[in-house]
Structure formats: structure tokens, C-alpha cells
A = this chain, B = another copy of it.
Amino acid sequence: MAKPTVFHIPVCPFCQRLEILLELKGRRDEVDFHVVDITQPRPQWLLDKTRGTTALPVLETSDGRILKESLVILQYLEDVHVEPPVAQRDPYRRAVEGMLVRMEGDFTTQGYRFLMNQDPDRRAALEQAMLEQYGRLGDFLAEHAPAGPFLFEAFGWAEVVFTPMFMRFWFLEYYEGFALPDAPRFGRVREWVDACLAHPSTQQVGKEQIVKLYYDYAKGAGNGALLPGRSRSSFAFEPDWRSRPWPPSDKYEHSATDQELGL
């Protein structure tokens, strides 16, 4: 029987969730990963499979059925590959995990909004709102998992969901100078973030790759869209990101050319 196939964008955080889960289960080789170039129009054969939607990741099962939405696919993989369990099984623990995972949507939205902002006058308010998001995560962990570093004994479901975002938010560090203050409210969440970033299951991408590929997002252009005066997206596969220089970090003052970005 054919392996299931995941259609994904290499640096996409939602796609990375699936890789982390499979890594934790020791099943990375049982799923084929097919890379999609976000800077090109989606190929027709892929649109046929998805019935026209363009969001990724998408999983095609061995018998050709299509699943969408990273959390749905994640649960499917958890259900198909039961051992070792990554999600909690006890009803109360599962609910605690569920409450934390429900906080991810606002967290992610806020981070991308901050990164994509082009108005220096809005910067301070966006930074404050981002801190509040981290603060809420910290409050939740302090209530439900004061001992740390993870929500439960080991890196689990909530960590699979959040870690790709913690990694993407390296772009806030680079382009916005964002950092968690050295204040008591942020101690517990900092411990969590650090433990997630260091976990061996999460090393599919690194800071340099994320900072370079997300340059266009920092300038307000998402999903592989082209900025004025540019002929290539920072998400382009070629030239490889390793061969490009680090982009200028002063996003509010300067718009880099293709050449400056090594594209």
C-alpha cells in the first residue's frame, strides 16, 4: 500500500507540527512529504485534490482521501499511530491540554500581526499585545504546571502545537527586537519556550532559515506575495537560503532589493 502523503511548505509552522509528531512517534518514514513552492501558483493536480483550496498542509491517505487543517491531520496521525501516545488520554488532563491549545490561535494571530505591521506608531501597542499573549500562556502554566518545564511530564501535544510558533517568532526577535522581559510573570513561559526550542523532536528548521525566508512578511507581504520593486519572493527555493546574506533588520526604515537579499 502507498504511504500517506503530506503536501507541505518546508518552513510552514502548521506543517512542522506534523513532522514533530511523527518524530515523537518514530514514524517520520511512514509518511511521504511532498514540497509545494509557495511562490508559484498551486499546480492544477493539487487543486484537483483539494477541490480548489490552497491552504497547506494537506494529507492524502493511502487510499486517496484528503484531509485538511493541521490540527485535524495531527489528530488523525495520533489516532492511526496510537503508540507512543503524544496527546493526553485521561479526560481531565486532555481538557487541560485542550484549553492551552485553544490559546494558540490568538497567540499566532498576534505574532503575525506584529511582524507584518508597517506603521512605527503602532509598534509599541503591538509589542504590548504580544507580551500579553506570552503572559497568558505563563499564567496558565503557572496554574496547571508550576513545576515545569512542560505542561505534563514530557514534551506532548500542546508542545507540538506551540513549538513551531515559538520558532517562527524568532522573526520578532530579529525584525522587531522583541524579547520577553526579565520579570516574574514571564519566568514560567520562558522556561517552557526554551525547553520546547531545545527538544530534539523540533529541529526541522532553525533561526537563520526563518529570518531569511520571512523577510517579505516583515515588510507586509504574506504567503509568497511579491513586494513592489522585487522580482523574487524571500520564500523562493533558489538561491538556497544558506547562500543568502542575513536581511537588513531595520524593517521600518529600509526596503531591501532582490540583490541585497541575495535573490
Binding site for B on A (CB under 8 A): 51, 61, 65, 67-69, 71-73, 75-76, 79-80, 91-92, 94-95, 98-99, 102, 139, 143
Complex Cα spacing A76 to B71, Å: 18
Complex Cα spacing A91 to B73, Å: 10
**Which chain B residues lie closer than 8 Å to A61 at the CB level?**
92
* Chain B residue at minimum C-beta to C-beta distance from A76: B95
| Sample of 28 A–B contacts (CB below 8 Å) | A51-B139, A51-B143, A61-B92, A65-B92, A67-B92, A67-B95, A67-B99, A68-B99, A69-B98, A69-B99, A69-B102, A71-B98, A71-B102, A72-B95, A72-B98, A72-B99, A72-B102, A73-B95, A75-B94, A75-B95, A75-B98, A76-B91, A76-B92, A76-B94, A76-B95, A79-B91, A79-B94, A80-B91
**Which chain B residues lie closer than 8 Å to A91 at the CB level?**
76, 79-80
**Which chain B residues lie closer than 8 Å to A76 at the CB level?**
91-92, 94-95
Complex Cα spacing A69 to B98, Å: 9
**Which chain B residues lie closer than 8 Å to A102 at the CB level?**
69, 71-72
Complex Cα spacing A223 to B98, Å: 25
Question: What number of copies of this chain does the assembly contain?
Answer: 2
Most B-side CB within 10 Å, residue of A73, A91, A139 = A91
**Which chain B residues lie closer than 8 Å to A75 at the CB level?**
94-95, 98
Complex Cα spacing A85 to B99, Å: 22
Complex Cα spacing A91 to B65, Å: 12
* Cβ distance A89 to chain B, nearest Cβ, rounded Å: 9
* Chain B residue at minimum C-beta to C-beta distance from A59: B95
Complex Cα spacing A147 to B72, Å: 24
* Cβ distance A242 to chain B, nearest Cβ, rounded Å: 36
Given contacts A51-B143, A76-B92, 12 further A-B contacts (CB under 8 A): A51-B139, A61-B92, A67-B95, A67-B99, A68-B99, A69-B98, A71-B98, A71-B102, A72-B99, A73-B95, A76-B94, A79-B94
